[in-house]
């Protein structure tokens, strides 16, 4: 093992202490940060994620409420709930957990969230602001990855960054943030030919695919920073990332573990975005 561990759990603790302090100051002035989390259906992974989000809110002194709706909830009913939350003064952030059941148009739901309460940063106006270099809310996972990269002290200017995965939630906004930090960015997708040759050029490799252990040590440039966004559950119940930690950590300079890497940072940046949402209303 040669790689240094990029400890997301420790960084998350540090940042959450600062966030909790800011929240308590706001609460003392009558502006307690408030987040509404909406979950439609019974997806087990989503249930865990939203529970963790709500409990992080409580620990940071935020007000939070969880809306659990059955899988057969109509699109109209969900839009009505979002509209109600848009008008609530004690709710500064609204998060609708994705994926939604197939009969609901998730674009329509996201576009219904007031842009100034869209703490996920998924609304088209927030995506546009990010794209044009004037972000309001940065999507939480890519925002957390940028904080982790900052922690290494490695300059991103002119670095070769390769993002594997091109989702609206991680890959695309991640590429934008890296580009705006001066990196040369390649975004790979499931059709990319010779993925290994792209990976091997990367000084910064961000993997967000959802396939257990698909990136192995022989695909990594010696000394690279490897950020593993994947959280996969193996048949034995254990969690693993998209990167094969054992072989990758023999080659990389820095690597995030799973669990304890990107995951805690995603939730931390959700708290940060909610705090920023309150501050903008004052
Ligand atoms: N599903 C997976 N990641 C996320 C996220 O960051 N936000 C929401 N709303 N849903 C998700």
CATH no. for residue 253?
A: 3.40.50.720
Choosing from 36, 41, 43, 49 the residue with most ligand 1 atoms within 8 A of its CB, the one to mutate for a pocket test is: 49
Same domain? 259 vs 167: yes
Residue 71: C-alpha distances to residues 37, 50, 68 (Å): 16, 15, 9
Q: Which residues are catalytic?
A: 53, 97, 120
- Give the Cα-Cα-Cα angle 207, 225, 162 (nearest 5 degrees): 45
Same domain? 257 vs 143: yes
Q: Is the CB of 141 under 6 A from ligand 1?
A: yes
Q: Is the CB of 95 under 6 A from ligand 1?
A: yes
Per-run averaged pLDDT (10 residues), the chain, 282 residues = 94 98 98 98 95 97 98 98 98 98 98 98 98 97 98 98 98 98 97 98 98 98 98 94 98 98 98 98 96
Q: Give residue 50 CA to ligand 1 midpoint distance, Å.
A: 9
Total-model pTM: 0.97
Locate all alpha helices (DSSP H) within 68-206, ordered by sequence: 75-86, 106-112, 124-131, 140-152, 171-180, 195-201
Q: How many residues does the chain have?
A: 282
* pLDDT given at position 24: 98
* pLDDT given at position 1: 67
Burial of 53 (0-12, 13-18, 19+ CB in 10 A): buried
Q: Give residue 46 CA to ligand 1 midpoint distance, Å.
A: 8
Same domain? 257 vs 176: yes
Q: Is the CB of 169 under 6 A from ligand 1?
A: yes
Same domain? 111 vs 145: no
Instruction: Kindly report the backbone phi and psi dihedral angles of residue 48, in degrees, each rounded to the nearest multiple of 5, phi listed first.
Output: -65, -45
Atom of ligand 1 lying closest to residue 139 CA: 6
Q: Decide: 38 and 46 in contact? Cβ < 8 Å.
A: no
Which residues, listed in sequence order, are joined to residue 34 by a DSSP beta bridge?
A: 63
Q: Is the CB of 131 under 6 A from ligand 1?
A: no
Q: Is the CB of 140 under 6 A from ligand 1?
A: yes
CATH number at residue 95: 3.40.50.10860
The domain boundary, picked from 59, 82, 115, lies at 115
Q: Decide: 244 and 215 in contact? Cβ < 8 Å.
A: yes
User: Please, how many CA atoms are within 13 Å of residue 69, restricted to the half-sphere of its CB?
Assistant: 22
- On whether residue 199 sits in a domain, the answer given is yes
Q: What is the residue with the minimal CA distance to atom 9 of ligand 1? A: 97
* pLDDT given at position 229: 98
Q: Give residue 263 CA to ligand 1 midpoint distance, Å.
A: 11
Same domain? 83 vs 178: no
- On whether residue 42 sits in a domain, the answer given is yes
Instruction: Kindly report the backbone phi and psi dihedral angles of residue 79, in degrees, each rounded to the nearest multiple of 5, phi listed first.
Output: -65, -35
Domain count within the chain = 2
Atom of ligand 1 lying closest to residue 99 CA: 1
Q: Which residues form the domain of 176?
A: 139-263
Same domain? 172 vs 213: yes
């Amino acid at each position: 093992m040669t790689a240094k561990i990029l400890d997301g759990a420790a960084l998350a603790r540090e940042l959450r202490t600062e966030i909790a302090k800011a929240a308590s100051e706001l609460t003392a002035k009558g502006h307690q940060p408030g987040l509404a989390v909406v979950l439609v259906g019974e997806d087990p992974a989503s249930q865990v994620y939203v529970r963790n989000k709500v409990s992080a809110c409580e620990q940071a002194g935020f007000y939070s409420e969880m809306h659990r709706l059955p899988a057969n909830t109509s699109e109209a009913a969900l839009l009505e709930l979002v509209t109600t939350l848009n008008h609530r003064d004690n709710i500064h952030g609204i998060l609708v957990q994705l994926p939604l059941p197939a009969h609901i148009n998730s674009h329509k739901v996201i576009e219904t969230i007031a842009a100034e309460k869209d703490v996920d940063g998924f609304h088209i106006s927030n995506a546009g602001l990010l794209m044009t270099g004037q972000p309001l809310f940065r999507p939480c996972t890519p925002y957390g990855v940028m904080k982790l990269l900052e922690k290494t002290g490695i300059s991103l200017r002119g670095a070769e960054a390769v993002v594997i995965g091109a989702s609206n939630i991680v890959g695309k906004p991640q590429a934008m943030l890296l580009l705006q930090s001066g990196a040369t960015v390649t975004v790979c997708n499931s059709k990319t030919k010779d993925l290994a040759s792209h990976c091997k050029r990367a000084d910064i490799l961000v993997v967000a695919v959802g396939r257990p252990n698909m990136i192995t040590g022989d695909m990594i440039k010696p000394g690279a920073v490897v950020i593993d966004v994947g959280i996969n559950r193996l048949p034995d119940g254990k969690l693993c990332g998209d990167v094969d930690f054992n072989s990758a950590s023999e080659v990389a300079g820095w690597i995030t573990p799973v669990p304890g890497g990107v995951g805690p940072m995603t939730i931390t940046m959700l708290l940060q975005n909610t705090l920023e949402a309150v501050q903008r209303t004052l």
